[in-house]
Structures are given as structure tokens and as C-alpha cells.
Amino acid sequence: MELTITTENFEELRNGTLPLVVDLWATWCGPCKAIAPIIAELAQEYEGKIAVGKCDVEENDDIAMEFGVRNIPTILFFKGGKLVDKFVGAASKSVLDEKFKALL
């Protein structure tokens, strides 16, 4: 299950017990829409092992600014509250799955 990441819950989720993957997106972004089903599948496959959330940059631009996000989709990978990886652009499920596996 994907979480909705907002300014209000980001710090708590980032510092939670599970690694966190954040998909930064916007409603008008075509590539964001293209990877959305892949992110949803991975969220389901890694449920209980990795927390997966979506963050609308239009509503939570402070999170995007904090991590220097200039292009979307951007996927941020956190472990132990620290940013450990970042991926910009659309990708296949296999590429993103490798990033997820690296968090475990």
C-alpha cells in the first residue's frame, strides 16, 4: 500500500523503522503517470519491508526543495532517516526493483 507523503508526516515516515521510498510526482507529469503502476506494484511486493509513498510536489514543494529535486519523477530512497539513493526519470520495473532490493 502506498502512503501519501506530506510535509506533516514526512519526518515521521523518514525516521520510521522501515526504509522509505518516496515518489515525487505531479498530476500534469506524463512520465510520473507512466511509472505510477510500477511503484504501486513494488509497494505491494515490499509491504512490511519497505514503506513506499507518493509526494505531490505541487502540494509539498518544501520536500522537493529540501532534496534539490528539479525534475520529476524523482524517487528518493531513505534508510535510517538518511537519503541513500536518488533516481530521476521513468524506469522499468526491473531497474526500480534493484533499487528497492538495495535498501534491504
Write down the catalytic residue from 5, 32, 35, 96: 32
Instruction: Give the distance from CA 52 to its chain's centroid.
Output: 6
Q: Please indicate whether residue 32 is annotated as part of the active site.
A: yes
E-only strand ranges, the chain: 2-4, 20-25, 51-56, 74-79, 82-88
Write down the catalytic residue from 29, 35, 64, 72: 29
Query: Closest by alpha carbon to 23, among 47, 53, 62?
Result: 53
Q: Please indicate whether residue 29 is annotated as part of the active site.
A: yes
**Residues classed as catalytic:** 29, 32
